[in-house]
Structure 1
Amino acid sequence: MIYLDNNATTYIADEVFEAILPYLKEEYGNASSIQHKLGRSANHAVEGARAIVANHLNVKPKEMMFTSGSTESINMVLKGVFERYHLKGNHIITCQTEHKAVLNTCEYLEKKGAVVSYLPVDPNGKLDLQLLRSSINERTILVCLMAANNETGIIHPIEDIAEICQQNDTLFFCDATQYIGKEKLDLQRIPIDIVCFSGHKLHGPKGIGALFIRRKSKPIQITPLIHGGNQEHGLRGGTYHSSGIVGLAKALEVIDYSTNASTLRDYFEESLLAHIDECRVHAICHPRIPNTSNILFRGVKGSELMTNLPNIALSSGSACVSGNRDPSHVLKAMHLSDEDAYCSLRLSFSRYNTKAEVDTVIQELTDAVTKIRNSSPLWQLYKTEKLK
């Protein structure tokens, strides 16, 4: 199996696996049970990991907390901010191409009285920053915009967004799940208020994520999503996932930002465009994270193409909507027709992929597309009409 679905989840790095093992067997204490040695050892590991995660983002350890992943963090922030700030306002700004964790939570909050503005994007997935600026009003309590799109890799100008939010005294919450681990994020340089990400997107374990909440002179108020003990200063109850936390920190420690993911992605796209006609890379001229390619193979359904590529792991959209028969909401927001959205595939590379694998994928994709098109009367009609 050649694995090119790294935006869905990633192979756990060997260094991460080795770091986790002791906390699954020998060092199994509860990190909150500091009355005995095993508990203190686990607590020391958790706090050491917190410092590593904070250092990676250039923030203070007290500004970092651990969750089960970005979906939990998103629910906590959106619901928690709405509950705490509803007397100030009920307006939330997000985007039509956000992850379903954001969109579905916003839909839920609309039923609770929230007013949500879903900003559109242009055909390249680009936001209109002037529209963002003009959408903020005296009732706006939160701007929620991702750093990089999980389906297309498109990068939003988060530094400019943070500046706009600061100028309007509005909280900015950024889902950086696909961004961290592929691009460096310095939160001293970019003053985002709240940031979340997940370990399993950057060769760490599943079931662990981190949430940054900036410490400000006027503290950010968030109602806890999970009540329980006093873990994470009462913001997130529950026993610490010590092995996962250690694994998340180790995954950040071993990131190499000079890896070959972007080189492989660019080589793949150039080769594919040269081999297959009526093929288009979405947002190829827009800034993207270096590992992601979303490609339209006109006249070839993505589902049919994947069936013809049993030894290649790729995706027809986000893993969060697996089994959904609707076209990608991201591509639809980018003004694609239903047909073209259905005929698009996402490939997401990692540092573990090789050029030999990419060459194999190019050949198998080319053969599969040719086979499907040659057996399609509709494609033959399309080509005949185009030649007229």
Structure 2
Amino acid sequence: MSSESISQSINIVHPVTLSHGRNAEVWATDGKRYIDFVGGIGVLNLGHCHPRIVEAIREQATRLTHYAFNAAPHTPYLDFMERLAGFIPVSYPVSGMLTNSGAEAAENALKIVRGATGRSAVIAFDGAFHGRTLATLNLNGKVAPYKQKVGVLPGPVYHLPFPSKDNGVSCAEALKALDRLFSVEIDIADVACFIVEPVQGEAGFLALDIEFAQALRRLCDEKNIVLIADEIQSGFGRTGERFAFSRLGIEPDLILLGKSIGGGVPLGAVVGRKALLDTLPKGGLGGTYSGNPIACAAALATLDEMSDANLHVWGAQQEQAIVRRYEAWLAGNVSPYLGRLTGVGAMRGIELANADGTPAPAQLTQLLTLARDAGLLLMPSGKSRHIIRLLAPLTTEPAVLEEGLDIFEACLKKLV
């Protein structure tokens, strides 16, 4: 599979060309069926071509395909923002704006905090991923391949260790690094915001330490620093709750949304405290396609499906299936390369590691090929590209999920 008309700087994980999909299954142009544990990299929590979303798209396409909201408002944007504000589990009134993507939400959040605080410094975390635009590149806690060959990036941005039970970095270690940062690198009075993923995605589904999250919230309150939660991948039910920050016992000031917000249609948002969102002058926020009517219609249909009851059931079922199979693999010594199970809820990663605990990226590459040949699509992650992140739709039929895990097990046994 190749095309001279497509940039060779785009990396393709799976060299197959897809033609159509249904829930957790996709078919290639050669007719081969695959079970999809990639889910559009977290976009398809409700699966491929969910009937309710497809019908909403069709109906909206007969009424209004596009209008720039900042030129003239339209009802899908107004209706969705009202619904979304009520869907965010915080105690304060929510305001926000729609964007085309998660990265665009992050970019706008940076503008918002600069306008609100009069400061420009941002603190992010090792292993973070917030996008591929120029400003978000500097937020990412990883150089290769994102920051290579692009020169000086917008800043200033500083990084801290990400504390998690999944990577062995303790709350105490992260707080010590924070103290050092403010002693050596930057005056705390110059910091506009912290930006953090409640569960890191690109790093391999690492869950943020709860004690650290609460300490960070207290610090931000004391120093008038904005706390941004990036829920682009962890939101909309991925962990079994509406958003992953709820398990931390904190409320962020701004929340970045994307991926599964639109049920497969490009959409993102930055939402949070109204005082922050209203800081910039008229015209400071907006965009031509941001909050496109068809995307908003799809997002409204998505929220219709995401009741707390549904999210808890879907998340619990998928989590239980993954944990049960993982524990059986571990007990049965199915592979010497089977490492830790990371993450929370249905947002789980499976690490491949050597006997001494060091990453085993060669075996992960082998696993990707074995699984694909057997009809299962998987997504790599982790600092050393050694963790499989499981992103099957939350709506995956139990039999299909088990079939996919059966393939995973069979391929684990073949690793050398």
TM-score by length of 2: 0.68
- Determine the C-alpha separation between the residues in 1 that align with 2:302 and 2:295: 10
After superposition, give the CA deviation of every residue in 1:14-70 in whole Å (9 maximum; x if it has no partner). Answer: 222222221112344636599xxxx87xx2222111111111015688712110111
- Determine the C-alpha separation between the residues in 1 that align with 2:261 and 2:113: 28
- Determine the C-alpha separation between the residues in 1 that align with 2:328 and 2:36: 19
Shift of 1:352: 2.5
The amino acid that maps onto 1:290 is A
Equivalence for 1:282: 340
Q: For 1:157-196, what aligned pairs fall within 5 Å after superposition?
A: 157=210, 158-182=213-237, 183-185=241-243, 190-196=250-256
- Determine the C-alpha separation between the residues in 1 that align with 2:89 and 2:130: 29
- Determine the C-alpha separation between the residues in 1 that align with 2:156 and 2:84: 34
**Match status 1:71 vs 2:135:** no
Equivalence for 1:211: 270
Considering fraction of residues, name the structure with more strand.
Answer: 2
Equivalence for 2:43: 9
Task: From 237, 257, 270, give the equivalent of 2:311.
Answer: 257
Runs of 4+ in structure 1 over 6 Å off: 59-62, 107-110
Q: For 1:102-141, what aligned pairs fall within 5 Å after superposition?
A: 104-106=137-139, 111=152, 114-121=155-162, 124-125=166-167, 126=169, 128=171, 130-131=175-176, 134=179, 135=181, 137-141=188-192
Distance 1:100 1:67, change over 3 A: closer
Distance 1:32 1:106, change over 3 A: closer
Distance 1:66 1:25, change over 3 A: same
**Match status 1:93 vs 2:123:** yes
Q: CA RMSD in A?
A: 3.5
The amino acid that maps onto 1:119 is L
Equivalence for 2:55: 18
Task: From 384, 387, 390, give the equivalent of 1:347.
Answer: 390
Equivalence for 1:366: 409
Distance 1:53 1:23, change over 3 A: same
- Determine the C-alpha separation between the residues in 2 that align with 1:61 and 1:23: 29
- Determine the C-alpha separation between the residues in 2 that align with 1:372 and 1:14: 39
The amino acid that maps onto 1:178 is Q
Shift of 1:112: 6.4
**Match status 1:269 vs 2:320:** no
**Match status 1:238 vs 2:271:** no
Q: Is the 8 A contact 2:94 2:271 kept in 1?
A: no
Moved more, 202-211 or 173-182: 202-211
After superposition, give the CA deviation of every residue in 1:346-377 in whole Å (9 maximum; x if it has no partner). Answer: 2223322234334333433333333342xxxx
The amino acid that maps onto 2:233 is Q
Q: Is the 8 A contact 1:2 1:313 kept in 2?
A: yes
- Determine the C-alpha separation between the residues in 2 that align with 1:53 and 1:191: 16
**Contiguous gaps of at least 5 residues in structure 2:** 1-33, 141-146, 183-187, 355-359
Q: Is the 8 A contact 1:291 1:350 kept in 2?
A: no
The amino acid that maps onto 2:123 is I
Aligned partner of residue 142 in structure 1, secondary structure: strand
Q: Is the 8 A contact 1:293 1:347 kept in 2?
A: yes
Shift of 1:288: 1.9
Aligned partner of residue 80 in structure 2, secondary structure: helix
Equivalence for 2:365: 303
Q: Is the 8 A contact 1:4 1:312 kept in 2?
A: yes
Q: Is the 8 A contact 2:376 2:407 kept in 1?
A: no
- Determine the C-alpha separation between the residues in 2 that align with 1:283 and 1:269: 7
The amino acid that maps onto 1:2 is I
Shift of 1:164: 2.6
Aligned partner of residue 172 in structure 1, secondary structure: strand
After superposition, give the CA deviation of every residue in 1:108-151 in whole Å (9 maximum; x if it has no partner). Answer: 89946733221113572356352475345111111111122114
- Determine the C-alpha separation between the residues in 2 that align with 1:113 and 1:143: 16
Equivalence for 2:376: 312
Shift of 1:316: 1.4
After superposition, give the CA deviation of every residue in 1:53-106 in whole Å (9 maximum; x if it has no partner). Answer: 111015688712110111111122235545x479x5443211011115275144
- Determine the C-alpha separation between the residues in 1 that align with 2:216 and 2:158: 15
Aligned partner of residue 250 in structure 1, secondary structure: helix
Q: Is the 8 A contact 1:261 1:291 kept in 2?
A: no
- Determine the C-alpha separation between the residues in 1 that align with 2:110 and 2:128: 13
The amino acid that maps onto 2:380 is S
Distance 1:220 1:93, change over 3 A: farther
Equivalence for 2:349: 293
After superposition, give the CA deviation of every residue in 1:190-226 in whole Å (9 maximum; x if it has no partner). Answer: 431111111x33571331112103123x776458xxx
